[in-house]
Amino acid sequence: MWKIPSETNFIVFDQERIRQSFIMSENSLIRLEQVTKEYALGETMVHALRGLDLRLDAGEFVVLLGPSGCGKTTTLNLIGGLDQPTRGHVIVGGEDIAQYKADQLTDYRRRKIGFVFQFFNLIPTLSAAENVEFALALNDDARDLRQRAFALLERVGLRERANHFPAQLSGGEQQRVAIARALANDPAVLLCDEPTGNLDADTGHHVLRVMRELNRAQGTTVILVTHNAAIAPMADRVVRLHDGMIQNIETNRAPQAVEQLVW
Amino acid sequence: MLHLLLLKNLRDLRASLAQTIALIIIVALGVASYVALIGAYRDLATSYNHTYEQLAFADVTFALDSAPSDVVNQIAKIPGVAAVTGRLIVDTGLDLPPELGGVKNAQIRARLIGIPEDAHPRVNDVLVESGRYFQPRDGKVALLETHFASIYNLAPGATVTPIINGRKQPLQVIGTIASPEYLVVSASRQDVIPSARSFAVIFVPEAELDRLMGGNAGINNIAVRFASDANPDNVIQQIDRELNAYEINSTTLQADQASNAALHLDLEGYREIGFMMPALILFVAAVSLYVMLGRLIRAQQAQIGLMKALGYADRAIVVHYLGLALLIGIVGTLLGVALGIPLGSEITTEYATELGIPLVATQVYPDLMVEGAILSIVLALLGGLVPALQASRLPPVVAMRPSPQMFVKGGRTWIERVVRLPLWLRVALRNVLRVRSRSLSTGLGILFAFVLVLGAWSFMDSMQFMLQDTFQNVERWDVMAVYSTPHSWSTLHRIESMDGVKRVEPILLLPATIKGGGASEDIAVTAIDPAQTLHRLELENGITPAQALGDNKIVLTAALANKYHLRVGDPVTMVTQAKPGSHEKITRTLTLGGIADEMMSAVGYISLDEGSKWANITGFAMNGAYVQVNTSQASAIRSALYDDTKASSVQLKSAVQADWVSLMGLFYAFIGMLVVFALAMTFALLFNTMTVNVLEQQRELATMRAIGTNRRKILLMMMGESVIVWLLALIPGLVLGTLAARELGGAFQTDLFALNIVIAPTSYVVAALGILLTMLLAALPAIRRVNKLNLAEATKTLT
């Protein structure tokens, strides 16, 4: 059962305030300036984002919320360098990654971003530890890969399952391996696309708890895309999107503990 | 319903257009090669037979010393004889003037054949290709065999000057002709290579030839055609009896006739390849279909689940997916037939032109098309059957599960337990084992590519090795002179004293017949000095020429020794002339002194002393000489040999070698075609496999790229997969390829010609690297696809 969370803890911005706050926050970790994304779907032109402006600060836990087709995943993909805007700027750490070439984007993703996907996207022929090693090996430091992989799995509570292959792991375990992999190169930003979308509620809670701990303990910026409004109360900020535009941004002064989330 | 399923099939194929086209091309190549190669084989056989029928090629030919021409009338009366022709054939020399590329006084061998001037011969007719046939009272005219005329560009109006009865007789050329006896121009079966450059066949009015030979020469060659219901053995026995009064030198059946035997040898070799190639290509087509349909079905798993949920029967699902294979089979077949018919016709025409077959018959063979269609469609259906059955057996609930990739089993390989491999290599290795049936079928495809490439390549190696060995190691002379009669020391000394001559060694060429175990055959025996160096005898088991060529000893080739089951020390029965030119025969029992490994099979060697005994000459005799010369003076020496020593023929080794090289041209082109086919097949197979691999691993590859794996590493992993399959197929491929080469080589072993199958080490390397390179090239489109992946989309796609 979906439960709409209490609104009492949120400050709601209107569009003009959003714009103002964006302009004023030149030092944000991530800034999206007038970002438009259009693509052809068959013979139809889809306007996924329509001049989006957004800024996200380092260490924030942000939830991008909205119905299907509102542009939340597109926003995540643009921040992650998986896609490029039709127009506008995506500035991360002071650099406009919209101007990056493919190789620069690859390097950017490797050094700064960690991804967590809805379907985990583990390499099925590699064990849990090897999946993490695979990401670790992308780094210039190739020492003690196995030990470091075990340590990361330890952090997500899967040390004892390190030698299991994806097909031998539950959905929640796979997602935790995916998180461990995403953390391999100590990313500045963790991008999570519907990380609980393919998990039952208990497992979903477990995964969110891991993310929250990482955010709080490491200061990793987490951007989580979901259409499950029940997750929103755990975020520092909630960005609601609708039809390729920001509908509102809510700042949560006292984010709820994961245990309190109910869906 | 069927209409909709067919529509779905067509759209499924369109959705994977590149793979569909690759599959259609493979099927089309298989069908085209089947229709073209077997069709061309039949066309060529038909063309020979058509030519033979039209020109009444003799079923049996008797060579005599001499007989009166009216003996032909007696033979014509024998039951079972449909037609008979008696001819006078004179083997002699022909002046080759400088304007035809000859040197002063140069001669080549010539065969003059007398035929009627008022009508075409009833047996062994000639086909006039230019000019006209004889007319009564034509006088000193000639018809030239077309190969010779074409090499020297001789047309009607030209003059040729053969030596007839010791005198030069200019004859005016009035036409060029094709003869069924000389489709391949060989003076005898011992001449393995066509020799139109050094052997002229000239037809002369029989009355004129008789006159030039001094009159009353009679006939020395009788050619007979059997009636369709005749018993050949009985007819030959009766003709033998009729010719009892005259000396029969040889009886040659059509199958043993030099030109016909050479053509058949060629055709049989062609047939082997003509059947093997389409079979391999069609097999690869089936494997490719299996791979692609397997992938398609995995990708459509959810659709299959839906079809089942909607109530489609298992059978309908099998039929639906088999329909895909069938569509590919049908389109491939149609394309293959459309390609195969003109290709077959082209091969026949090229081949026939190269060989000079005058009457070419090309036709369309509906049975081949039907066979090709059935073969390809059955193989296509077989290729599609397993995936289609697998699809039908999927329970709907399993089929509709979201991500089949989630159920891919991981596992470590035994190699990883032994060696710690880098991660990218572990990924590549485990991917190979991921869909084992696909890797196995890919491996099999590569295996067959090795078989085809090595099988074809080994022929080139073997030929090149053989020619190199023969012309560099065995035949060390530069010029060989042959005399029509035995000569003495004085000729040898004259040659030695010629300017530019480095060394001369005498030889005595003697015709002989070897007998044993109920078989017999004519061989060329050369008597040589055991200490000679210009023809190197490479004897088995370390035996030296001095040991092997002792008194009453003979050296035979390995091919002859094998055929007659002879070992060194065994007795060898030889029938020889009592003396040169005599028709009296002597049976001699010699001891096999040694076994030589040589290209030409039907030859033997004895010592010069033994040769003198055979020739019934006391003291020294020679009728030929190996001459080593300063290369720049070879032509002048050839001229001097003709002029000063009256040689009947002088051969330059360089010219003989050039003849071989030119003969090999068509052969190499054919081999080249085979190799290209094999590599095209490997490319198409691997292209499909790699594309399927990428499609199935699209999400993983996209994820790897999303987390920052660079293209080089992804390229390394994908290439790694190809290299691992290649490595797994390498050893069995090389072994099977070698065995196939040996097996195919066996088809080219003949009584006259021993082809030792040799595969150069570099060929193994070239074949292996060529196949690897083809594989890597075939992976490029798939790699390009990975590089162009829409990462945002592909990381979410359920493949």
pLDDT, one tens digit per residue, over B692-719 is 777 778 888 899 999 988 888 888 888 8
Q: How far is CA B328 from each of CA A145, B28, B285, B367, rounded to the nearest angstrom?
A: 49, 9, 10, 21
CB count, 10 Å around CB of B437?
Answer: 12
Q: Which residue of A has its CA nearest to B705?
A: A106
DSSP B629-682: E-GGGHHHHHHHHHHHH--SEEEEHHHHHHHHHHHHHHHHHHHHHHHHHHHHHH
Whose tokens are 């040197």? That residue is: B103
Strand-pair partners of B173: B142
Report the pLDDT value the prediction gives residue B155, as an integer from 0 to 100.
92
DSSP B52-80: HHHTT--SEEEEEEEE-TTHHHHHHTSTT
Using an 8 Å CB-CB cutoff, list chain B residues near A124. 405-406, 408-410, 434, 700
**Of the given ranges (B306-315, B372-381, B761-770), which has the lowest mean pLDDT?**
B306-315
Query: Percent of chain B, pLDDT > 90?
Result: 28
d(CA B275, CA B30): 11
Residues in Cβ contact with B146 at an 8 Å cutoff, skipping those fewer than 6 apart: B129, B176, B177, B178, B356, B358
Q: Do A82 and B792 touch (CB under 8 A)?
A: yes
Q: Give B72-75's long-range contacts (Cβ < 8 A, gap of 24+).
A: B72/B219, B72/B222, B74/B242, B75/B222, B75/B224, B75/B239, B75/B242, B75/B243
Q: Do A125 and B792 touch (CB under 8 A)?
A: no
pLDDT band at B187; cut points 50, 70, 90: confident
Q: Does residue B200 have a pLDDT over 50?
A: yes
Q: Do A121 and B700 touch (CB under 8 A)?
A: yes
Residues in Cβ contact with B656 at an 8 Å cutoff, skipping those fewer than 6 apart: B471
d(CA B40, CA B157): 37
Q: Which residue of A has its CA nearest to B431?
A: A125
Max intra-chain CA distance, chain B: 104
Q: Which residue of B has its CA nearest to A106?
A: B708
Q: Do B792 and A121 touch (CB under 8 A)?
A: no
Q: Distance, in angstroms, between B468 CA and closest chain A CA?
A: 53
Antiparallel, parallel or unpaired: β B107-115 and B199-205: parallel
Would you say A25 and A80 are in contact if contact means Cβ atoms under 8 Å apart?
Answer: no
Q: Does residue A6 have a pLDDT over 70?
A: no
Q: Distance, in angstroms, between B15 CA and closest chain A CA?
A: 14
Average pLDDT of the residues of chain B: 84
Report the pLDDT value the prediction gives residue B397, as an integer from 0 to 100.
66
The token pair at A146 is 């196995």
Q: Do A73 and B792 touch (CB under 8 A)?
A: yes
> What does the DSSP 8-state code read for residue B535?
B
d(CA B718, CA B727): 14
Task: Find the CB nearest A138 among B427, B702, B708.
Answer: B708
Query: Percent of chain B, pLDDT > 70?
Result: 92
Q: Does residue B400 have a pLDDT over 70?
A: no
Q: How far apart are the first and last CA of chain B?
A: 27
Residues in Cβ contact with B192 at an 8 Å cutoff, skipping those fewer than 6 apart: B186, B262, B600, B752, B753
Query: Strand, coil or helix: what is A173?
Result: helix
Q: Does residue A8 have a pLDDT over 60?
A: no
Query: Strand, coil or helix: what is B179?
Result: coil
Alpha helices in B544-633 (DSSP H): 545-548, 558-563, 608-614
- pLDDT tens-digit series, residues A103-149: 899 889 988 999 998 888 888 888 999 999 988 888 767 778 889 99
pLDDT band at A237; cut points 50, 70, 90: very high
Query: Percent of chain A, pLDDT > 90?
Result: 57
- The residue ranking higher by pLDDT, B38 or A11, is B38
Q: Do A165 and B431 touch (CB under 8 A)?
A: no
Would you say B257 and B181 are in contact if contact means Cβ atoms under 8 Å apart?
Answer: yes
Q: Does residue B208 have a pLDDT over 80?
A: yes
CB count, 10 Å around CB of A102?
Answer: 14
Residue B692 backbone dihedrals phi, psi, to 5 degrees = -65, -40
Residues in Cβ contact with B305 at an 8 Å cutoff, skipping those fewer than 6 apart: B394, B396, B397, B398, B399, B400
- The residue ranking higher by pLDDT, B435 or B570, is B570
Task: Find the CB nearest B700 among A83, A118, A123.
Answer: A123
Residues of B with CB under 8 A from a CB of A: 402-403, 405-412, 423, 426-427, 430-431, 434, 699-700, 702-711, 790-792, 795-796, 798
Q: Distance, in angstroms, between A211 CA and closest chain B CA?
A: 18
Q: How far is CA B425 from each of CA A180, B305, B369, rounded to the nearest angstrom?
A: 22, 36, 47
The reported pTM is 0.68
Q: Distance, in angstroms, between B394 CA and closest chain A CA?
A: 19
Q: Which residue of B has its CA nearest to A195?
A: B796
Task: Find the CB nearest A124 among B410, B795, B796.
Answer: B410
pLDDT band at A15; cut points 50, 70, 90: very low
Q: Does residue B686 have a pLDDT over 90?
A: no
Q: Which residue of A has its CA nearest to B702?
A: A121
Report the pLDDT value the prediction gives residue B462, as an integer from 0 to 100.
85
Q: Do A106 and B705 touch (CB under 8 A)?
A: yes
Using an 8 Å CB-CB cutoff, list chain A residues near B711. 103, 106
Q: Distance, in angstroms, between B696 CA and closest chain A CA?
A: 12
Q: How crowded is the C-beta side of B450, counted as CA atoms within 13 Å? A: 26
Residues in Cβ contact with B152 at an 8 Å cutoff, skipping those fewer than 6 apart: B100, B101
- pLDDT tens-digit series, residues B436-482: 877 887 888 788 788 878 887 887 888 888 888 888 888 999 999 88
pLDDT band at B580; cut points 50, 70, 90: low
Using an 8 Å CB-CB cutoff, list chain B residues near A148. none
d(CA B162, CA B167): 8
Q: Do A106 and B710 touch (CB under 8 A)?
A: yes
Q: Does residue A17 have a pLDDT over 50?
A: no
Task: Find the CB nearest A167 among B407, B702, B711.
Answer: B407
Mean pLDDT over residues B17-27, rounded? Answer: 83
Q: Does residue A33 have a pLDDT over 90?
A: yes
Q: Which residue of B has its CA nearest to A80?
A: B706
Q: Which residue of A has its CA nearest to B712?
A: A103
pLDDT band at B627; cut points 50, 70, 90: very high
Strands (E), B696-783: none
Strand-pair partners of B64: B248
